[in-house]
Amino acid sequence: MGENENRQPVTDTGLVISGGGARTIMSIGVLQALEESGVKVGCVAGTSMGAVIGALYAAGLSPAAIREVFRGKQLAKTFSLRIPRLGFLQLDFLREVLKSYIRTDNFNYLQKPLYVSTTNINTGENVIFKSGTLYDKVLASATLPVLFEPVQIGDHYYVDGGLTNNFPVDCIRDCCKKLIGVHVNCISGEQEVNGMAHIIARTFALAVWQTVKDKLKACDHLIEPKQARNYTIFDFGKADELFEIGYEATMKGIEEIKAPCHTPSPNGWISTFRKRFSA
């Protein structure tokens, strides 16, 4: 579900980036490895922080420039876990980041097609935005419920797309011949769950996983670093570590990623050539 048709060209390579808070910084390392290896990403879909990174990349920023944005102390402070005492927290700083690097508040002025996954809390449905005004839709996708104030778009309110679609392959699969997925939320058994931050992150991750598990097979190549489980969604102070993990995981399988891919099937869902790469 989403807006009216905008741009949906067929490109050689598409990239879908899951949400995952700070862990999504790994996708910047993925982009760096792809660019160094001559793999050109023609369209991007993302959820939550994946939508933010996707928007910056679609606007023409290099992976190195995006990395510098996420190294900033203010961004880490904005997304540190603080329980609001007087209502919701604001995403004003993130809005200023978008305005600084993306001068025009419109999808049509991006250099690559972008698809942003959000959750309409009025209807309970997932909404993919791909046209019209840009800032509010990207912010909505990154609005973690309870902590941040929902974003009003039209008559409805929107929050993190991870609640309903944390890996938006559906909207991008038919747009590209080869689809690379970056999934940074490793779900495994945990012996201990201690502390408020850990409990919140674990609870959200388990709910989000239900929107993802059946979609991973749609990717021709899936980059899913095992080290992701060692970081929380609030670890923005570890941007360099996360970047390197994504970079190394991608370089490990880069020859297979660069290999020619079969033409997509009529329904666009390919599982035969799915690959998992982990550093």
Catalytic residue list: 48, 160
Tokens of 181: 């997925």
The Cβ of residue 182 has, within 10 Å, a number of other Cβ atoms equal to 31
H or E segment to which residue 30 belongs: helix 26-36
DSSP secondary structure letters along 168-227: --TTTGGGEEEEEEE--------S---SHHHHHHHHHHHHHHTTTTTTGGG-SEEE--GG
DSSP secondary structure letters along 97-164: HHHHH--SSSGGGSSS-EEEEEEETTTTEEEEE-SS--HHHHHHHT--TTTBPPEEETTEEEEEGGGT
**Helix%, strand%, coil% for the chain, nearest 5:** 40, 15, 45
Tokens of 154: 């039209």
Tokens of 113: 């097609």
CB under 8 Å to 142, separation ≥6 — which residues?
A: 19, 48, 49, 51, 52, 91, 94, 148, 160
